[in-house]
Structure 1
Amino acid sequence: MKTIPELRSQGAEELQLIDAVGTSLIRVRLGGEDAHYAGGLVDGAKMLKFFGDVATELLIRLDGDEGLFRAYEKVEFLAPSYAGDYVEITARLIAIGKTSRKMEFFAKKVIRPVSGSAVSAAEICEPVMVCRAVGTCVTPLELQRFRS
């Protein structure tokens, strides 16, 4: 598989670059320190922090720079998350402009604590969409190391 710099130097199309960058994925356990509300409920803004983390990885792959998060076009909080949950956060590029990079984000709960059991008991669950969003990041031209 060709590297991003090779693809750019050969004048690759937007879809070729999107495919080459791929998807960023992180899995994290939400701990007691993440709980902000009664009952161990985690603030939805925590998902936005994770979206920033996966966006940064995609920008580094594409541009060789962390870039900056400019704006969210859409954010939907679809299910609660709690201390003890494991969430899987993914991002993928959906459009590439001269300096802007539009991305799609998803946060899914994949493991949850078992209620009424020991503190360490948990179960793998059907993935539950906790949050999804579309946002735009920017990498200034002078910081794009992989420009052709």
Structure 2
Amino acid sequence: MKSMIRLRMSSSDAHYGGNLVDGARILQLFGDVATELLIKHDGDEGLFKAYKDIEFIAPVYGGDYLEVVGEITKVGNSSREMKFEARKVIVPRVDICDSAADFLDEPIVVCKAVGTCVVPKKLQRKG
């Protein structure tokens, strides 16, 4: 089971100098994807328990468009292991003008993670 969201990082997402977006914002997006996956799988939002692997690979800036994907890779009694990937798919081209942007031929992977979520047995309505 997979889920995907695509959204633009705004200037309000930029937390550091040079319009750099905080890595915690990417993890928040992984959490949003996890919530959708749990609703699809169990009919409940569940809870994020832990990440066991997070890798920040490339910088993200305000104005970048990200595609964030996740999938359930392992199902236990109440635990759901998931893998996530965030990819930059559009980048602004302020060197040309304020409204110019490029859709990337090859997305740039900016972050990968593996995490575990839990849906208590009494809240599982599907599967």
Give the structure-1-normalised TM-score.
0.83
Report the alpha carbon displacement of residue 23 of structure 1 after superposing the two structures with TM.
Answer: 1.0
Give the structure-2-normalised TM-score.
0.97
Matched, 1:82 2:61: yes
Number of residue-to-residue matches in the alignment: 126
List aligned pairs for 1:85-100, cutoff 5 A.
Answer: 85-100=64-79
Tell me the SS of whatever aligns to 1:33: coil
Matched, 1:114 2:69: no
Which has the higher mean CA deviation after the structures are superposed, 127-136 or 112-121?
112-121
Matched, 1:133 2:89: no
Partner of 1:13: none
Partner of 1:12: none
Partner of 2:21: 42
Partner of 1:8: none
CA deviation map 1:101-133 (0-9, x unaligned) = 000000000000114121111001120000000
Which has the higher mean CA deviation after the structures are superposed, 25-34 or 113-122?
113-122
Distance in 2 (alpha carbons) for counterparts of 1:146 and 1:115: 47
* Structure 1: runs of 5+ lacking an equivalent: 1-21
Looking at secondary structure, tell me which structure has more strand per residue: 2
Task: State the superposition RMSD in angstroms.
Answer: 0.8
Q: 1:64 aligns with which of 43, 54, 61?
A: 43
Tell me the SS of whatever aligns to 2:22: coil
Distance in 2 (alpha carbons) for counterparts of 1:28 and 1:65: 24
Tell me the SS of whatever aligns to 1:84: coil
Looking at secondary structure, tell me which structure has more helix per residue: 1
Q: Which runs of 4+ in 1 moved over 3 A?
A: none
* Structure 2: runs of 5+ lacking an equivalent: none
